[in-house]
C-alpha cells in the first residue's frame, strides 16, 4: 500500500523522471551535477542499483537518492550550499553516529568526508545555497546576528524538526506547477516561505534572536506605503521587510497588532481592490487583470475574489 508519509511514493506533482543506473561512473557523474565533486566506493559484490529523482522550487532542490547496495560516498571539497536530509529508509553513518530511518540532519557548506550507507538506504535531501539561506535570514532578522550560524546537526526519529522536514518536502512536492507570467514570482515566494519555515522550526544558534519586539509604527507605515506603491510588482515578504528596515518576524508582529493581518495578506487585499477597480472599468479580461495584479493561479484568484467581494470576477466584469 502506498503510504502518504513516504515523500517518494506520494502522488507526484513535481518529481522529475527518475534516473536509474547500474554504472558507478554514471552514478558519480549524476550526483556531481547536483552536489559537486564526489567519489563512490562500492563495499559489496551486489551490483549498484542507483536511483535518483527530484524537483526544484525556485532555487531549492529536493531529491531522493538510493544506491541499492552497501556504498560509501565522499564529498571531496567544501561547497556553497547546505543540505537538510531525512532518512526515509535504511542507515547512514555520520562521523561516529549511525543515522537510522526517521532521523533528519544538516550538512554545512564546509562538511566533507565519507558517508557510509546501507544497501536499503533512501535519503531525502533539501539543498539550499548559502546565498539563499542568508537572504532568508536577513528577511527574518533584519540584520544578521554576529554569532556564526549553526543548525542542530541531528534530529532524532519522531522529533519535531525531523517530522517537520519530512512534511516540508512533502508539501513542496505537492505544490502545483504554475504557468504564466507570474510563475517565477510564485516560485520565489514558495522558496522564501520554505526557508523561513526552516529557520522558525529547526533549532539553530540564532533561535534566541527570534523573540524580537514588534517595530515602531513608523516601520509598519513604511511597509504599507511600499505595498501600496508596488501592489502590481513582483513583491515578496523580503522586499517589504527591506523597505520597512526591519526583520520579517518583527514586521509581521507589527502588522498583526496594527491591522490584524500579516503583511502578505495586506498585499493580497490591495491587489484584490486594484483588480476589482479594473474589472468595474472593464479595462481587460479577467485573465489579464489577474496576471496584472500578481495572481498567477486563476482558480486561486477567483476564490480569493469571491471570498472578498461575494461574487465572481466575471460577474463584476459583466456589470
Identify the CA nearest to 88 among candidates 20, 6, 153.
6
The set of cell numbers assigned to 103 is: 532521523
Class of the domain covering 212-318: mainly alpha
pLDDT exceeds 60 at position 159: yes
| Residues 6+ positions from 141 with CB-CB distance below 8 Å | 206, 209, 212, 247, 249
Lowest-pLDDT range, 40-44, 66-70, 162-166?
40-44
Instruction: Report in angstroms the alpha-carbon separations of 264 from 111, 175, 223, 251.
Output: 36, 19, 11, 11
Q: Is 212-318 in the same CATH topology as 1-129+153-182?
A: no
pLDDT of residue 10: 40
pLDDT of residue 81: 93
pLDDT class for 236, splitting at 50, 70, 90?
Answer: confident
pLDDT of residue 47: 82
Please check whether residue 314 is in contact with residue 286, taking contact to mean a CB–CB distance below 8 angstroms.
yes
Beta bridge partners of 51: 20, 66
* Distance separating alpha carbons of residues 20 and 304, to the nearest angstrom: 42
Beta bridge partners of 87: 123
pLDDT of residue 12: 47
What DSSP designation does 208 have? G
Please check whether residue 215 is in contact with residue 263, taking contact to mean a CB–CB distance below 8 angstroms.
no
Calculate the average pLDDT of the chain: 86
Which residue do the cell numbers 559489496 mark?
44
Element (H, E) at 287: helix 286-292
Q: Does 213 or 199 have the greater pLDDT score?
A: 199
pLDDT class for 184, splitting at 50, 70, 90?
Answer: confident
1 SS3 class = coil
pLDDT of residue 13: 66
Q: Does 144 or 179 have the greater pLDDT score?
A: 144
Tens digits of per-residue pLDDT, 88-138?
A: 999 998 878 888 999 999 999 988 888 899 999 999 999 999 999 999 998
pLDDT of residue 34: 87
Tens digits of per-residue pLDDT, 258-285?
A: 888 999 999 999 999 999 999 988 878 9
Burial 65-102 (b: 16+ CB within 10 A, else e): bbbbbbbbbebeeebebbbbbbbbbbbbebeeeebebb
How deeply is 158 buried, as exposed, middle or buried, from its count of CB atoms within 10 A (0-12, 13-18, 19+)? exposed
pLDDT class for 5, splitting at 50, 70, 90?
Answer: very low
pLDDT exceeds 80 at position 239: yes
* Distance separating alpha carbons of residues 278 and 292, to the nearest angstrom: 10
20 SS3 class = strand
Say which CATH topology domain 1-129+153-182 has. Jelly Rolls (2.60.120)
- Tabulate helix, strand, coil % of the chain (nearest 5): 45, 20, 35
pLDDT of residue 309: 92
Element (H, E) at 265: helix 263-280
pLDDT exceeds 60 at position 319: yes
pLDDT over 90, % of the chain: 45
Per-domain residue ranges of the chain: 1-129+153-182, 212-318
pLDDT class for 299, splitting at 50, 70, 90?
Answer: confident
Amino acid at each position: 500500500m502506498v503510504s502518504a508519509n513516504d515523500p517518494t511514493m506520494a502522488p507526484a506533482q513535481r518529481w522529475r523522471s527518475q534516473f536509474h543506473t547500474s554504472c558507478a561512473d554514471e552514478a558519480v557523474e549524476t550526483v556531481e551535477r547536483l552536489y559537486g565533486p564526489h567519489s563512490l566506493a562500492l563495499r559489496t559484490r551486489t551490483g549498484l542499483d542507483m536511483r535518483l529523482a527530484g524537483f526544484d522550487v525556485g532555487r531549492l532542490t529536493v531529491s531522493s537518492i538510493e544506491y541499492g547496495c552497501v556504498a560509501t560516498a565522499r564529498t571531496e571539497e567544501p561547497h556553497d550550499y547546505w543540505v537538510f536530509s531525512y532518512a526515509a529508509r535504511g542507515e547512514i553513518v555520520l562521523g561516529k553516529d549511525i543515522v537510522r530511518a526517521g532521523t533528519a540532519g544538516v550538512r554545512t557548506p564546509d562538511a566533507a568526508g565519507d558517508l557510509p550507507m546501507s544497501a536499503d538506504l533512501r535519503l531525502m535531501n533539501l539543498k539550499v545555497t548559502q546565498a539563499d539561506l542568508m537572504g532568508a535570514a536577513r528577511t527574518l532578522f533584519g540584520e544578521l546576528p554576529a554569532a556564526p550560524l549553526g543548525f542542530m546537526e541531528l534530529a532524532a526519529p519522531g522529533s519535531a524538526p525531523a517530522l517537520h522536514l519530512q512534511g516540508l518536502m512533502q508539501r513542496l512536492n505537492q505544490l502545483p506547477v504554475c504557468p504564466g507570467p507570474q510563475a517565477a514570482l510564485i516560485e520565489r515566494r514558495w522558496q522564501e516561505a520554505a526557508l523561513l519555515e526552516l529557520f522558525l522550526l529547526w533549532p539553530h544558534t540564532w533561535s534566541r534572536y527570534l523573540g524580537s519586539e514588534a517595530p515602531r509604527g513608523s516601520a509598519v507605515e513604511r511597509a504599507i506605503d511600499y505595498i501600496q506603491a508596488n501592489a502590481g510588482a513582483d513583491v515578496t515578504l523580503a522586499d517589504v521587510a527591506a523597505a520597512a528596515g526591519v526583520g520579517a518576524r518583527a514586521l509581521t508582529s507589527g502588522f498583526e497588532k496594527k491591522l490584524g493581518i500579516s503583511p502578505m495578506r495586506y498585499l493580497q487585499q490591495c491587489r484584490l481592490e486594484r483588480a476589482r477597480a479594473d474589472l468595474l472599468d472593464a479595462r481587460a479580461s479577467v485573465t489579464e487583470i489577474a496576471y496584472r495584479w500578481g495572481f498567477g493561479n486563476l482558480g486561486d484568484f477567483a476564490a480569493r475574489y469571491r471570498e472578498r467581494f461575494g461574487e465572481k470576477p466575471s460577474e463584476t466584469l459583466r456589470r
